[in-house]
């Protein structure tokens, strides 16, 4: 198996100890590649979460976050969120912090709440900076202030970052909360890479194998579907019990396999993979990298388990769709939905935004379809007519009407009224996905 220079660099970066500093020049020299190649690989490593780049400090190896710890930030991430400058303790930037303390109280009270692994957010109070570092906490100085040299030295000794930002304490707290909130929303979106059976544990066949090998794997694993790869580990096909039926044992797998199978990448959402599997009637999906090399597989069972896990998540962020659908009031007797137009749902003119209007009609149509058919659905196309603007603090009535419903699709007509006046209309076509 040959691996590219790009991958060699990524593997090298991954093997470095957490906290190690790297540079384009150093990687280029170490790996015998051009600086351009080294730069691209470092950027890719940053996207994958292996490293973090901080202005005036450089690029450092950080620990990849597990999905369950995503609401925790590293000191390096805080620097980037608040456009900070690192005054000392650069060696500790990769560390994860567990609590924020706002230093808006007397020194003794402040220290009672500040402990190891915390981040004290405080203004120009040198003694507080010093005591926090001694307690094992990092320090974020607001208002653009500096600190004294002996404090910076202490930060270096303790390997605890002391960061300065030009923003005030309230703005900093808001920015950090926003960053954590965005990550919580991402936490809810489970990706294929979070649930796949990795390559080392995947049963696969080579294009040069014979049908006999399928029977061997079938006996060993009790599975009947296997990806087929070439010598470079690139996925060439998939083979099932149906494919090998009726063929002699010495026939090449290449002759019986289904070529050009549907594949997904690790960054595909599990929900998207689920839709593919249902639409195409697929039990197993090969997971590939950007070079089409096999990374592992996911099965329908894996997907269903993951979607159930998401529903049990205790703490998730709220998306725009959640904000909109939370405004839906109880459905009236005749199948009409009512919705309050809050300030968050309006545009710069103070009227209902087009994007929110689309979400409202989609949600009403979805609920109407679910009354008739259980399962998930995906909007295939939608035609919307905006007839009149809807003002802030209005209450609108949404009337979905089912035009047609089959086993695999549904058509819905939606009318939206404000105080009895028609303000919008939509025609929607949906694919229906039955729950397995």
The CATH number of whichever domain residue 126 belongs to comes to 3.40.1390.20
**Which of 265, 283, 309 is the C-terminal boundary of a domain?**
309
Domain count for the chain? 4
Residue 119 falls inside a structural domain:
yes
Measure the CA–CA gap between 26 and 43, rounded to whole angstroms: 15
Same domain, 336 and 426: yes
Same domain, 251 and 170: no
pTM of the model: 0.49
Same domain, 382 and 301: no
Measure the CA–CA gap between 82 and 232, rounded to whole angstroms: 44
Mean pLDDT on 244-258: 93
Same domain, 128 and 223: no
By three-state DSSP, how is residue 368 classified? helix
pLDDT tens digit string along 136-166? Answer: 999 999 999 999 999 999 999 999 999 999 9
Same domain, 324 and 413: yes
- pLDDT recorded at residue 76: 87
Same domain, 282 and 210: yes
pLDDT tens digit string along 313-343? Answer: 444 455 667 667 777 765 665 778 888 888 8
pLDDT tens digit string along 16-68? Answer: 888 888 899 999 998 899 998 999 999 888 887 788 887 777 888 877 655 44
Determine phi and psi for 108, rounding to 5 degrees.
-60, -45
Same domain, 334 and 376: yes
- pLDDT recorded at residue 282: 86
Give the pair of three-digit tokens for residue 405.
Answer: 């419903």
- pLDDT recorded at residue 272: 82
Beta-strand runs (E) in 55-202: 58-61, 85-88, 99-102, 118-122, 138-141, 162-164, 197-198
pLDDT tier for residue 436 given thresholds of 50, 70 and 90: very low
pLDDT tier for residue 85 given thresholds of 50, 70 and 90: very high
* Torsion, Cα of 428, 431, 432, 436 (10° steps): -150
Residue 383 has, within 13 A of its CA and on its CB side, a CA count of 5
Give the pair of three-digit tokens for residue 400.
Answer: 């979905």
Give the pair of three-digit tokens for residue 78.
Answer: 């805080």
Could you tell me which of 143, 102, 110, 142 has the C-alpha nearest to residue 128? 110
- pLDDT recorded at residue 68: 44
By three-state DSSP, how is residue 431 classified? strand
Residue 369 falls inside a structural domain:
yes
Mean pLDDT on 116-125: 91
Same domain, 259 and 332: no
Same domain, 178 and 268: no
pLDDT tier for residue 422 given thresholds of 50, 70 and 90: very high
- pLDDT recorded at residue 350: 83
Same domain, 95 and 162: yes
Average predicted confidence (pLDDT) for the chain: 85
Residue 67 falls inside a structural domain:
no
2: number of Cβ within 10 Å? 7
**Which of 158, 188, 218 is the C-terminal boundary of a domain?**
188
CB 166 within 8 A of CB 83: yes
DSSP code for 268: S
- pLDDT recorded at residue 149: 94
191 against 180, higher pLDDT: 191
- DSSP assignment of 310-350, as one string? HHT-S--PPPHHHHHHTTEEPPPTTS-EEEE--GGGB-TTS
Domain enclosing residue 236, as ranges? 192-309
Query: Domain with 22 in it: what CATH number?
Result: 1.10.10.10
By three-state DSSP, how is residue 351 classified? strand
């Amino acid at each position: 198996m040959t691996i590219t220079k790009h991958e060699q660099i990524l593997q090298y970066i991954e093997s470095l100890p957490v906290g190690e500093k790297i540079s384009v020049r150093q990687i280029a020299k170490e790996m015998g590649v051009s600086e351009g190649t080294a730069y691209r690989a470092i950027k890719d490593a940053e996207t994958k979460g292996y490293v973090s780049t901080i202005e005036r400090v450089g690029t450092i190896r950080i620990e990849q976050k597990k999905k369950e710890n995503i609401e925790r930030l590293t000191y390096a991430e805080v620097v980037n969120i608040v456009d900070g400058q690192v005054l000392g303790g650069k060696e500790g930037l990769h560390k994860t912090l567990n609590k924020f303390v706002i230093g808006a109280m007397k020194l003794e009270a402040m220290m009672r709440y500040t402990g190891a692994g915390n981040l004290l957010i405080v203004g120009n109070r040198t003694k507080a900076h010093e005591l926090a570092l001694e307690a094992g906490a990092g320090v974020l100085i607001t208002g653009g202030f500096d600190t004294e040299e002996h404090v910076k030295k202490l930060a270096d000794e303790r390997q605890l970052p002391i960061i300065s930002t030009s923003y005030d304490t309230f703005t900093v707290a808001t920015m950090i909360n926003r960053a954590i909130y965005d990550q919580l929303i991402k936490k809810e979106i489970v990706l294929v890479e979070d649930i796949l059976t990795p390559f080392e544990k995947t049963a696969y066949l080579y294009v040069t194998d014979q049908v006999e090998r399928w029977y061997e794997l079938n006996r060993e694993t009790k599975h009947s579907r296997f990806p087929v790869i070439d010598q470079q580990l690139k996925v060439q096909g998939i083979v099932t019990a149906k494919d090998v039926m009726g063929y002699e044992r010495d026939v090449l797998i290449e002759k019986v396999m289904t070529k050009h199978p549907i594949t997904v990448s690790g960054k595909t959402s599990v929900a998207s993979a689920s839709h593919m599997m249902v639409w195409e009637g697929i039990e197993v999906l090969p997971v590939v990298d950007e070079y089409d090399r096999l990374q592992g597989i996911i099965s329908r069972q894996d997907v269903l388990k993951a979607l159930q896990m998401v529903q049990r998540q205790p703490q998730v962020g709220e998306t725009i769709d959640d904000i909109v659908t939370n405004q839906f009031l109880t459905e009236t007797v005749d199948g009409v939905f009512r919705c309050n137009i809050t300030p968050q749902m309006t545009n710069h003119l103070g009227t209902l935004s087009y994007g929110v209007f689309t979400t409202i009609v989609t949600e009403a149509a979805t609920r109407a379809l679910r009354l008739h058919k259980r399962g998930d659905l995906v909007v295939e196309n939608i035609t919307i007519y905006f007839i009149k603007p809807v003002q802030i603090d209005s209450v609108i009535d949404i009337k979905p009407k089912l035009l047609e419903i089959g086993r695999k699709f549904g058509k819905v007509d939606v009318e939206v009224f404000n105080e009895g006046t028609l303000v919008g209309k939509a025609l929607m076509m949906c694919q229906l996905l039955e729950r397995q």
